[in-house]
Each structure stands twice: as structure tokens, then as C-alpha cells.
């Protein structure tokens, strides 16, 4: 049986070790890491999966913003990373973790503008994420345009730069 607990209830070193196993030690140079640099995850939307006392998965969500070229500012929630112990991958645990985060976002009314970098077939099929509004978005590093996905009624379809949401309180 899997228990889902707030990620803050888990040793941060264990979370980092799981992320290393799931994504490699070189993961810190990826665009998603640069996008949320200096931010703390949104505690209410970040979870750990525990089985028999062992950490087997995590999901974190982050406060970011789109700064429109027109001067507008649009708060967004960055979903991910979703990390699953390599021996447990492809068993549905990642899907359960995403459901935990999205359900919490809905309950807290934080689901109106969410985005992620990921597989459009997977995230689109289960949760309605798409690249329909993101063509004009720029990130602090490279990303394949079809993998820049968003969902929610407040997702802005404008040109602008994504970055940390400075002064975010969630």
C-alpha cells in the first residue's frame, strides 16, 4: 500500500537522492531547474509516496510567472518534477502522484493556470495539458516547443518570459 504524505514530512536528502536516481546527477542544468531557481516548492501541492517506510516517489509544484512582452504578469504553477524509484517506474505511481498534486490544486483553487515540461501524449491524455497556448513562451534554457504544456482557464496565450514568481506566497 502506498501512502501519500506532504513532501515536507520526508528527509530532503532522501528526496534529492531519489531525484538523482530518477533523473541523474546532472539534472540541475536542465531548463526546468533554471526556471524555478531560488524558489521553494508549494508545500500544499508537493507530495511523497511512501511504501513500507521507504520513499518511492515524489512530486513538487512551484510558483512561477509569465512576464508578458506587453508588461503583464501571469502567475502559474509549474508541475514537476515527478520522480519515481527506477525499479517502480511504469507501474502507475507517477500518475498517482500527479493526481495527488492536481487534486490538491483544485481543492485550493490553484488549478487555473498550470504548466509543465513533459510528454504531450501522456500529460494531454490524462490531464488535458497541451501546447496550444505556449508557442510564445520563452524559458531560461532550451526546451522542445511541443513539450511546453499548460492547462487551465487562466493560461495566457501571449508572448513572454517564464521565470520564478518573486515574492510568491501560496
pLDDT digits (tens, 9 = 90+) for 108-154: 999 999 999 999 999 998 899 999 999 999 999 999 999 999 999 99
43 half-sphere exposure, CB direction, 13 A CA radius: 6
Q: Which three cell numbers stand for residue 37?
A: 531557481
Nearest Cα to Cα of residue 56 among 131, 106, 2: 2
- The whole-number average pLDDT for the span 93-120 is 96
For residue 142, how far is the Cα from the chain centroid? 17
Question: How much is the pTM?
Answer: 0.93
d(CA 110, CA 156): 15
- The whole-number average pLDDT for the span 31-60 is 94
Name 95's Cβ contacts closer than 8 Å, sequence gap at least 6. Answer: 126
Least confident of 5-14, 32-41, 55-64, 93-102: 32-41
Q: Which domains does the chain have, with CATH numbers?
A: 3-164 (3.40.630.30)
Long-range contacts of 126-131 (CB under 8 A, 24+ apart): 126/95, 126/98, 127/98, 127/102, 127/151
Amino acid at each position: 500500500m502506498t501512502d501519500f504524505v506532504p513532501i515536507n514530512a520526508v528527509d530532503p536528502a532522501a528526496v534529492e537522492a531519489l531525484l538523482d536516481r530518477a533523473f541523474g546527477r546532472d539534472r540541475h542544468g536542465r531548463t526546468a531547474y533554471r526556471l524555478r531557481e531560488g524558489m521553494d516548492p508549494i508545500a500544499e501541492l508537493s507530495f511523497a509516496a511512501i511504501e513500507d517506510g521507504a520513499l518511492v516517489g515524489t512530486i513538487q509544484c512551484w510558483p512561477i510567472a509569465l512576464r508578458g512582452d506587453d508588461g503583464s504578469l501571469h502567475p502559474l504553477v509549474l508541475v514537476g518534477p515527478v520522480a519515481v524509484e527506477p525499479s517502480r517506474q511504469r507501474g502507475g505511481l507517477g500518475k498517482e502522484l500527479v493526481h495527488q498534486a492536481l487534486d490538491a490544486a483544485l481543492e485550493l483553487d490553484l488549478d487555473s493556470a498550470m504548466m509543465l515540461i513533459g510528454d504531450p501524449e501522456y500529460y494531454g491524455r490524462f490531464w488535458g495539458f497541451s501546447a496550444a497556448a505556449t508557442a510564445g513562451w520563452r524559458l531560461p534554457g532550451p526546451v522542445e516547443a511541443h513539450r511546453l504544456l499548460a492547462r487551465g482557464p487562466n493560461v495566457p496565450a501571449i508572448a513572454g518570459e517564464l521565470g520564478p514568481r518573486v515574492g510568491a506566497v501560496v
